[in-house]
């Protein structure tokens, strides 16, 4: 086991069954698993789907995995942030490595035309952020980004004892399903992180750093009515609609947002 890879292998049979059940898979499905590790979830998935592609970066595990899995499983050695995904539609089901869970979620967004849905185990604190509501402590940039593109369902909490080695924190299983007709534009990801780079700062202050040609009062005037046109508005006091809908009416601000994204929030 390698700490640098964020490896915590799921070993509890009852949790493995619950993960597979929560994924709502059919016998003809294709699944991509990230970080199969020792292969416990891999075997559980292989028993219920037609094809499974498991991506593992730890070459020390590859030979044992290939010797252990059935014929409908393909073990791919490589980095899940870089490996080419299947072109045909597939589901993602995985116990994500803690250290790359967030960048992987962002990659899933980029490939949502291929990915049917995502069922993953992640740190509970990350899961709480994915499902967080505005005006709560956990609501942040990741909440806005994921909730813009997907509906997130919280499945269940997994205690440290279900893993080897035991992590220091609880984990949780979540399932995301993409919202229809949401436009693709990678600039939105960058916008969310720049505009809301500090949750404790006033939203207008963050936007002013991005759009220097607009005064603070001009930015406040363009903020969504959900923000109450209040310069005291902070990141976690607004919903996704609040952050996107009317905050970008000025010409300079509009250029930084996808046209179709703006239309979808009018």
Cβ proximity of 177 and 115 under 8 Å: no
Cβ proximity of 136 and 238 under 8 Å: no
Q: What is the pLDDT of residue 206?
A: 58
**Angstrom distance (rounded) from CA 265 to CA 163:** 42
- Only one residue has tokens 């009062």, namely 217
Cα first-last separation, the chain: 50
Cβ proximity of 76 and 55 under 8 Å: yes
Cβ proximity of 93 and 31 under 8 Å: yes
pTM: 0.79
Ordered by start, the domain boundaries in the chain are 3-178, 187-264
Q: What is the pLDDT of residue 204?
A: 57
Strand ranges, E, within 136-185: 150-158, 163-164, 171-178
CATH 3.40.50.150 is the classification of domain 3-178: yes
Q: What is the pLDDT of residue 182?
A: 85
Q: What is the pLDDT of residue 188?
A: 66
Residue ranges in the chain modelled with pLDDT below 70 = 1-7, 184-191, 193-214, 216, 218-266
Instruction: Give the CA distances from residue 17 to residues 42, 68, 120, 154, in Å, rounded to whole numbers and listed in that order.
Output: 12, 19, 13, 16
């Amino acid at each position: 086991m390698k700490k640098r890879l964020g490896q915590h292998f799921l070993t509890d049979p009852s949790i493995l069954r619950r993960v597979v059940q929560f994924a709502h898979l059919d016998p003809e499905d294709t699944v991509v698993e990230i970080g199969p590790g020792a292969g416990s979830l891999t075997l559980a998935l292989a028993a219920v789907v037609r094809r499974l592609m498991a991506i593992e970066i730890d070459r020390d595990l590859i030979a044992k995995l290939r010797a252990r899995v059935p014929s409908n499983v393909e073990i791919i050695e490589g980095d899940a942030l870089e490996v080419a995904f299947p072109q045909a539609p597939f589901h993602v089901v995985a116990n994500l490595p803690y250290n790359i869970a967030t960048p992987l979620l962002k990659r899933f967004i980029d490939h949502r035309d291929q990915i049917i849905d995502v069922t993953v185990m992640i740190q509970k604190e990350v899961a709480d952020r994915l499902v967080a509501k505005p005006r709560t402590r956990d609501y942040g940039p990741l909440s806005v980004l994921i909730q813009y593109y997907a509906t997130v369902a919280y499945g269940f909490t997994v205690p440290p004892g279900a893993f080897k080695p035991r992590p220091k924190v609880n984990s949780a299983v979540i399932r995301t399903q993409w919202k229809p007709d949401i436009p693709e534009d990678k600039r939105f990801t960058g916008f969310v992180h720049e505009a809301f780079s500090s949750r404790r700062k006033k939203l207008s202050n963050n936007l002013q750093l991005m759009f220097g040609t607009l005064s603070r009062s001009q930015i406040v005037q363009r903020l969504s009515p959900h923000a109450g046109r209040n310069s005291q508005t902070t990141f976690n006091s607004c919903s996704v609609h609040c952050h996107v809908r009317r905050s970008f009416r000025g010409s300079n601000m509009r250029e930084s947002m996808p046209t179709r994204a703006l239309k979808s929030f009018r």
